[in-house]
């Protein structure tokens, strides 16, 4: 059977937001990032990004291996990556680079280690802040090809690694899960791959005819439909994070709660307030753009969020006015959306006794994000006939 390249894993690039207090960069160090692919194949291509960078980034060594515990790699699995035949690569500002194809038998749900080293300073101007996955940062030195490395510190962010493509059967296809922190998996267990897109991929693998569907998680914590801050606004990044991926046939959109929740708090001012009508117009454009590219779209209702305590006198995350906006948006999604399918996550996840709140057994503790059980319930509730 002939094969083609398809993305099996991704982390949407985002700008650095100062309140997140990210690392400033790496000084002659090796960074080792871990990613679990959704489907396997007979070869891989790795994409590294400097999307929001203002200066070129030079790397002097990049390798891939099967990941082991605590930042190690499985013995005899390490392979060097090249770029145009060279081990070194410069990533221009505002750009990405892809590795040369590497023959490598890769099983579904394999956990890969991608290690990279630069002799000079590698600034952190692009990252994926809330990865729910440990990244390992070495003491100074090139450990990119080493089975073990001396770890100076760890974080739970992704940095340069933004996609892993696999050489899969031409029948393989992908679904993009496009969203904010709830799709990104905030509140799920670190290093456990318990985000709802992870569980959805596992469901596909158990169903005849769906085992060759890759799941691409394009959630960004704090992302909004209509305002840029933590990541470019959704209507802006849609082309990069959805339409640019070859082999995508389906799209699931769960995004918009931050447009409602953030304004008039310590996170955003009154100038960022948007109406339900403005949000609906944004959804209509995303669905129309997806349809124009031949994608089948599922639009999801917004989860309840009553409960967070205001952090300052500027205002509360939850107000009756914000709740009215959420209800109006959800009414549109349930009754008037032109999407090919809808998923009523609000109905699934709300507390039946207090429906403006998350179910207690699905609440990670902040009243906004689900826990592992909640994310599993979300993935298991999606009607797989949507993938027909």
| Domain that includes residue 129, residue range | 3-163
Q: Which one of 163, 182, 206 terminates a domain?
A: 163
- Cα–Cα distances in angstroms (integers) from residue 137 to residues 18, 45, 141, 150, 159, in the given order: 21, 23, 10, 8, 11
Q: Which one of 163, 192, 221 terminates a domain?
A: 163
Q: Are residues 191 and 157 in the same domain?
A: no
Q: Are residues 144 and 191 in the same domain?
A: no
Q: Are residues 208 and 327 in the same domain?
A: yes
CATH code, domain carrying 361 = 3.40.50.1110
The two beta strands, 25-27 and 102-106, are unpaired
Which pTM does this prediction carry?
A: 0.96
Q: Are residues 183 and 155 in the same domain?
A: no
Q: Are residues 129 and 219 in the same domain?
A: no
Residues 267-319 pLDDT 10s: 999 999 999 999 999 999 999 999 999 999 999 999 999 986 654 444 578 99
Q: Which one of 163, 192, 216 terminates a domain?
A: 163
Q: Are residues 298 and 361 in the same domain?
A: yes
Each residue's pLDDT tens digit in the chain (388 positions)? 456 999 999 999 999 999 999 999 999 999 999 999 999 999 999 999 999 999 999 999 999 999 999 999 999 999 999 999 999 999 999 999 999 999 999 999 999 999 999 999 999 999 999 999 999 999 999 999 998 999 999 999 999 999 999 999 989 999 999 999 999 999 999 999 999 999 999 999 999 999 999 999 999 999 999 999 999 999 999 999 999 999 999 999 999 999 999 999 989 999 999 999 999 999 999 999 999 999 999 999 999 999 866 544 445 789 999 999 999 999 999 999 999 999 999 999 999 999 999 999 999 999 999 999 999 999 999 999 999 9
Q: How many domains does the chain have?
A: 2
Q: Are residues 10 and 28 in the same domain?
A: yes
Q: Are residues 137 and 275 in the same domain?
A: no
Residues 101-140 pLDDT 10s: 999 999 999 999 999 999 999 999 999 999 999 999 999 9
Q: Are residues 77 and 185 in the same domain?
A: no
Q: Are residues 39 and 137 in the same domain?
A: yes
Residues 83-94 pLDDT 10s: 999 999 999 999
Nearest to 101 by CA among 88, 117, 82: 82
- Cα–Cα distances in angstroms (integers) from residue 39 to residues 48, 94, 177, 251, 375, in the given order: 20, 29, 15, 17, 20
Q: Are residues 189 and 334 in the same domain?
A: yes
Q: Are residues 265 and 333 in the same domain?
A: yes
């Amino acid at each position: 059977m002939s094969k083609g390249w398809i993305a099996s894993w991704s982390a949407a690039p985002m700008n650095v937001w100062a309140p997140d207090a990210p690392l400033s960069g790496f000084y002659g160090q090796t960074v080792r990032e871990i990613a679990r692919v959704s489907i396997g194949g007979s070869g891989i291509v790795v994409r590294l990004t400097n999307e929001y960078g203002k200066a070129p980034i030079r790397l002097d060594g990049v390798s891939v291996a099967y990941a082991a515990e605590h930042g190690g790699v499985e013995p005899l699995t390490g392979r060097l990556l090249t770029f145009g035949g060279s081990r070194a690569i410069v990533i221009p500002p505002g750009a990405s680079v892809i590795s040369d194809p590497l023959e490598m038998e890769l099983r579904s749900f394999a956990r890969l280690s991608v290690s990279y080293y630069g002799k000079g300073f590698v600034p952190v101007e692009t990252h994926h802040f809330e990865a729910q996955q440990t990244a390992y940062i070495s003491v100074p030195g090139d450990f990119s090809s080493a089975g073990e490395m001396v770890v100076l510190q760890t974080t739970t962010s992704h940095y340069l690694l933004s996609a892993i493509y696999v050489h899969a059967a031409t029948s393989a296809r992908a679904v993009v899960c496009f969203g904010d922190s709830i799709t990104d998996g905030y509140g799920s267990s670190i290093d456990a791959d318990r985000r709802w897109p992870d569980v959805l991929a596992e469901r596909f693998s158990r169903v005849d005819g769906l085992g060759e569907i890759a799941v691409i998680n394009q959630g960004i914590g704090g992302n909004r439909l209509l305002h840029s801050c933590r990541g470019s606004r959704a209507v802006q990044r849609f082309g990069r994070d959805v339409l640019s991926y070859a082999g995508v046939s389906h799209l699931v959109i769960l995004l918009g709660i931050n447009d409602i929740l953030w304004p008039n708090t310590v996170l955003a001012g009154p100038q960022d307030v948007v109406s339900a009508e403005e949000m609906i117009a944004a959804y209509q454009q995303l669905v129309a753009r997806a349809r124009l590219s031949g994608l089948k779209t599922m639009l999801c209702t917004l989860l309840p969020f009553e409960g967070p305590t205001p952090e300052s006198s500027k205002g509360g995350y939850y107000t009756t006015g914000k709740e009215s906006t959420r209800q109006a948006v959800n009414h549109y999604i349930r009754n008037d959306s032109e999407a090919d399918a809808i998923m009523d996550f609000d109905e699934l996840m709300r507390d039946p006794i207090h429906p403006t709140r998350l179910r207690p057994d699905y609440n990670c503790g902040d009243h906004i994000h689900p826990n592992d059980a909640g994310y599993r319930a979300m993935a298991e509730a999606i009607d797989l006939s949507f993938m027909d």
